[in-house]
Structure 1
């Protein structure tokens, strides 16, 4: 998607209050008359609506992240929901302005990113699997601290990345275009909302029938007679999962990523798995035990692919680091007017936030002040790398930069897996909020929203995000357990694997014959990622997506790819319905997530 310049494609920057005050007054009769009042921007209803939408996003991201390792920023979805919600609230008052809708969307994105900032999708499950269980309140404060650092990083990088280098940040541009269209075209909301609510309702009903009533099986396996390498479909999880969320994810990730995930899963479960059983590398007395043995081996080449892709992405951004560090040093002198005031407050807030986050890291994650500062030193350039990659490709390599930090930390710190995973959490947590904040800042820049007000609502959303995400996480883990068929936690397993590899276990701790496979996968990840930066970008599979296919059950990959293919087919046959289909994909994700969490709560109440 191309960058939308200000004032084009229906996205015109609104005049700032000081600009409006300096303009002359005109009237037809020659008598000066006042200009219309400035558009409403930071309002209570925008904050309330953004908080409600963000709470839904936070629940959805915890549920989706623990199942698939993916999470959604919600920029476009929250724009649509914010317009609809504010329009309902405005029936007895002034209609919402595009700036008001943008601030509600900005708040929602900040709330919804908290599961990733707090490490609930990766580092915290990894620490639990390693035998360390940090208390929930400390994880919440840790997430608030890392989220704050991410927001401050984004604000400090805003001028260079969005204005001077004009990186596209396509998701932010798409949100700005959608907000502008919704406020200028009366019929634009109806089609998108219809797809969202219809798919959300169908998804919720199907999830209830699957989880609460057990009228729908979790997975429809292929016929038992179809065996691969002597293993039946129950061992390889061959079939289709009755997860509308996976179909929705497939709609949103696009054709290349969906096919790459399926390719990785087919290589893992249909190519390597039979060989592992035949050679006696993977063994198990029951189908479940054999599947767990296979998953433990296949994890390593999957991680190799993803880390190789991350290393290539990071290496491509090294030249820009000096300029980024200069921006951070000059943060207190940034901008004019409101932005200069905000910059000074940002600069003053850095030290208290670091102290709070470091205290929680020491108490809950056993990350001493010295090693926390070392992780923070790594976080500064890696957050900048992640932000730049997000602006260029619209893909935020959050987990990969976390694992890259684990690699660097493994060479500098004691060989303790929990310490290594905690250090990776510092980088990935701050990077998650930095990327989401920059998408919102790009939308605000194109619409003319005050960046200082966006900063304010982003910070205000952090506490609410923690209050929603932590209970949701503990609820799902209490009912389903980590590293189970219901919650595969692929990102958590990836964090754990890298920590064990780089610390006490080393290469000797890898499953038999997996060392060579991991090295080959790493090299393949580097080659594919480097080649994808040229003319072959659309033809080559995504190395990171292939690696995810190794970590997911095969039925998950099949279902996700089915959603991708259905969206591509509908888009080719009826191009005018593309936006409606994307809204339907988001609705399927939200519908299953909300009902799935509700059913888990009912199950926990029955157990109690």
Structure 2
């Protein structure tokens, strides 16, 4: 699972370099011919569209999104196998890998397009971006991201052999599926389908019929106001419970801790001091609470990057010097020229869509490849792709060199954040392909298709959801607050902040840094995650409580039936996330068509 918006966009302990498992790396006769097929591309685009829909919905709700390699491999193998009974026979390993490669590229596009961060941040600042502009902009940044991954692939995978654990796990899964000829634990498919259908029904009854409450509010009063004023309670959202199930107990309880600090400790004091108008509800409080929450996450990000900076940035310089040295020089040269065209198009679109001066965009483009290399090494060494941190570095650089309107700063940051979001996902797919002896050039072509399809799918989904539910308590978009606040600080300093918000942000920064440092020792499993705490401070309390409840239920179930939990919770969670996301989109479409009333 990826977090705001990266995979996971949070601080994490450095994972040891994994030894690749023993895989079936020799393709079967005729396998190369059964790789770049129509059904693998169509299937990948269809599965990727599902991933993109769920990533838009989940990202707007929680700030997390899923790269989807594992899910896409399972769904791709199952779909191609079923299709093969009537058309073309069963899939090859390379065909299954190309399906997940395409799907992952499509699924990453909501993050690439900025739909989970920069675009809603601009909307919150009163700036509108045309839909066509977002589509073309996202496709251009996606191309830059996949090209950067392709150009870095040879050094990181072949020369250095970095782990890229998600890619290894994907290759191992594909090998196992083709070795046995079926999806292991056949009950998983039924669990996933049943979970999805149940979640869709609950979402319909909650959003349209009103038979299931949105939130069960907590009893009692704080600062003379009802607890519900401070968003306390538990939400009836299977998707949020599934997020808790899959995120784990430590991350989920860290979010609950952050919510309690925000809504039980700080928010009542803001009311007593007259700093916040409580009648505005979540929107009124979030203006102030965003500052300490983002401070926590930025502090954690700075420490995490500083610990790896020398190794990552030093190696990134070597990566840049080795660009173009691939085993397929003709494709390498083609990729370089495609990157040049995409860069020129970014300059034009930056000016037309966002009003970015050419020098602002040139600075961002100059940072794309170096920061993509840093992000790629994070994905290779730690299985973490620090997308938001790379965007934040660009915002700071842009605000320092070109101080000016905050909207321009957000747009400049989105250039790098968009490209690096696709780079990490692409390299996980390349790692799987490298182990399975897939063709990098064919994977590149499938990723290019995925970028185009993902742009065309993600933007309408985002616009429909935002138009129906609005940005606020229903769709908190925590990642957007990071873009907005960092833009304000980078370009205007601390002037114009809410009362005492600057002090809270500084305290949050040092607390986040301290927690991250503490987590690097023997207390790692006991120290709360600063990033998860920060997210909990940005979300409504009932959302964090629901996530925490899901994690607690799974922890309890694991004590009673660990075998059943390990077998079925991933499918249960994936079905719940997909079911609520699809039904949420369907409800939004019905509202747009005037067939039902707007929820809430």
How high is the TM-score relative to the length of structure 2?
0.92
1:305 aligns to what?
Answer: 296
C-alpha change, 1:82 and 1:36, in structure 2 (3 Å) is closer
1:327 aligns to what?
Answer: 319
2:11 aligns to what?
Answer: none
Q: What is the alpha-carbon distance in structure 1 between the residues aligned to residue 539 and residue 464 of structure 2?
A: 22
Indicate whether 1:519 and 2:503 are aligned: no
For residue 144 of structure 1, report the CA deviation from its aligned partner.
0.8
Which secondary structure state, in structure 1, belongs to the residue aligned with residue 522 of structure 2? coil
Q: What is the alpha-carbon distance in structure 2 between the residues aligned to residue 365 and residue 405 of structure 1?
A: 16
Q: What is the alpha-carbon distance in structure 2 between the residues aligned to residue 310 and residue 59 of structure 1?
A: 28
Which secondary structure state, in structure 2, belongs to the residue aligned with residue 539 of structure 1? coil
2:208 to 192, 199, 212: 212
1:312-351 to structure 2, matched below 5 A, reads 312-319=303-310, 320-332=312-324, 334-336=325-327, 339-351=328-340
Q: What is the alpha-carbon distance in structure 2 between the residues aligned to residue 240 and residue 167 of structure 1?
A: 42
1:98 to 93, 96, 113: 93
Q: What is the alpha-carbon distance in structure 1 between the residues aligned to residue 167 and residue 21 of structure 2?
A: 15
Indicate whether 1:424 and 2:413 are aligned: yes
1:193 aligns to what?
Answer: 189
1:493 aligns to what?
Answer: 481
Q: What is the alpha-carbon distance in structure 2 between the residues aligned to residue 494 and residue 37 of structure 1?
A: 46
1:547 aligns to what?
Answer: 534
2:263 aligns to what?
Answer: 269
Indicate whether 1:457 and 2:452 are aligned: no
1:82 to 52, 76, 83: 76
* Deviation string, structure 1 residues 336-369 (Cα, Å, up to 9, x no partner): 2xx3332222122111010112211111011122
Which secondary structure state, in structure 2, belongs to the residue aligned with residue 149 of structure 1? helix
Indicate whether 1:570 and 2:532 are aligned: no
Larger radius of gyration: 1
Q: What is the alpha-carbon distance in structure 1 between the residues aligned to residue 214 and residue 132 of structure 2?
A: 33
For residue 183 of structure 1, report the CA deviation from its aligned partner.
1.9
* Deviation string, structure 1 residues 295-318 (Cα, Å, up to 9, x no partner): 211100001111112222322333
For residue 559 of structure 1, report the CA deviation from its aligned partner.
0.7
C-alpha change, 1:39 and 1:231, in structure 2 (3 Å) is farther
Instruction: Report if aligned partners of 1:7, 1:13 keep a CA contact under 8 Å in 2.
Output: no
For residue 511 of structure 1, report the CA deviation from its aligned partner.
0.9
1:229 aligns to what?
Answer: 223
2:24 to 7, 12, 26: 12
C-alpha change, 1:531 and 1:167, in structure 2 (3 Å) is farther
Q: What is the alpha-carbon distance in structure 2 between the residues aligned to residue 529 and residue 165 of structure 1?
A: 28
Indicate whether 1:597 and 2:585 are aligned: yes
1:25 aligns to what?
Answer: none
1:348-367 to structure 2, matched below 5 A, reads 348-367=337-356
1:256 aligns to what?
Answer: 250
* Deviation string, structure 1 residues 84-136 (Cα, Å, up to 9, x no partner): 11111100232111211111001001011111111111111111222221111
Indicate whether 1:295 and 2:268 are aligned: no
* Deviation string, structure 1 residues 32-90 (Cα, Å, up to 9, x no partner): xxx67657222111001000000111111111111111111111111111111111110
Q: What is the alpha-carbon distance in structure 2 between the residues aligned to residue 604 and residue 547 of structure 1?
A: 34
2:524 aligns to what?
Answer: 537
2:545 aligns to what?
Answer: 558
C-alpha change, 1:428 and 1:342, in structure 2 (3 Å) is same
Q: What is the alpha-carbon distance in structure 1 between the residues aligned to residue 58 and residue 585 of structure 2?
A: 11
Instruction: Report if aligned partners of 1:237, 1:555 keep a CA contact under 8 Å in 2.
Output: yes
1:412 to 379, 401, 416: 401
1:16-31 to structure 2, matched below 5 A, reads none
1:30 aligns to what?
Answer: none
1:28 aligns to what?
Answer: none
2:48 to 48, 54, 63: 54
Name the Cα RMSD after superposition: 2.1
1:273-288 to structure 2, matched below 5 A, reads 273-284=267-278, 286=279
Q: What is the alpha-carbon distance in structure 2 between the residues aligned to residue 255 and residue 112 of structure 1?
A: 26
Of residues 227-236 and 570-579 in structure 1, the stretch that sits farther from structure 2 once superposed is 570-579
Which secondary structure state, in structure 2, belongs to the residue aligned with residue 240 of structure 1? strand
C-alpha change, 1:267 and 1:605, in structure 2 (3 Å) is same
Q: What is the alpha-carbon distance in structure 2 between the residues aligned to residue 291 and residue 595 of structure 1?
A: 25
Stretches of structure 2 that go unaligned for 5 or more consecutive residues are: 1-14
For residue 6 of structure 1, report the CA deviation from its aligned partner.
4.7
Of residues 59-68 and 306-315 in structure 1, the stretch that sits farther from structure 2 once superposed is 306-315
Instruction: Report if aligned partners of 1:3, 1:173 keep a CA contact under 8 Å in 2.
Output: no
Instruction: Report if aligned partners of 1:14, 1:449 keep a CA contact under 8 Å in 2.
Output: no
1:475 to 464, 469, 477: 464
Instruction: Report if aligned partners of 1:146, 1:357 keep a CA contact under 8 Å in 2.
Output: yes
The alignment covers a number of residue pairs equal to 578
Indicate whether 1:372 and 2:361 are aligned: yes
Instruction: Report if aligned partners of 1:4, 1:446 keep a CA contact under 8 Å in 2.
Output: no
Q: What is the alpha-carbon distance in structure 1 between the residues aligned to residue 183 and residue 124 of structure 2?
A: 50
C-alpha change, 1:569 and 1:184, in structure 2 (3 Å) is farther
How high is the TM-score relative to the length of structure 1?
0.91
C-alpha change, 1:383 and 1:76, in structure 2 (3 Å) is same
Instruction: Report if aligned partners of 2:403, 2:490 keep a CA contact under 8 Å in 1.
Output: no
Instruction: Report if aligned partners of 1:7, 1:446 keep a CA contact under 8 Å in 2.
Output: no
Of residues 195-204 and 168-177 in structure 1, the stretch that sits farther from structure 2 once superposed is 168-177
For residue 7 of structure 1, report the CA deviation from its aligned partner.
5.5
Indicate whether 1:113 and 2:108 are aligned: yes
2:240 aligns to what?
Answer: 246
Poorly superposed stretches of 4+, deviation over 6 Å: none
Which secondary structure state, in structure 2, belongs to the residue aligned with residue 508 of structure 1? coil
Q: What is the alpha-carbon distance in structure 2 between the residues aligned to residue 5 and residue 41 of structure 1?
A: 26
1:23 aligns to what?
Answer: none
2:123 aligns to what?
Answer: 128
1:131-142 to structure 2, matched below 5 A, reads 131-142=126-137
* Deviation string, structure 1 residues 251-273 (Cα, Å, up to 9, x no partner): 22222211211111111111212
Which secondary structure state, in structure 1, belongs to the residue aligned with residue 234 of structure 2? strand
Q: What is the alpha-carbon distance in structure 2 between the residues aligned to residue 165 and residue 36 of structure 1?
A: 30
2:63 aligns to what?
Answer: 69
Q: What is the alpha-carbon distance in structure 1 between the residues aligned to residue 433 and residue 154 of structure 2?
A: 13
C-alpha change, 1:191 and 1:183, in structure 2 (3 Å) is farther
Instruction: Report if aligned partners of 2:31, 2:92 keep a CA contact under 8 Å in 1.
Output: no
C-alpha change, 1:385 and 1:536, in structure 2 (3 Å) is farther
Which secondary structure state, in structure 2, belongs to the residue aligned with residue 327 of structure 1? helix
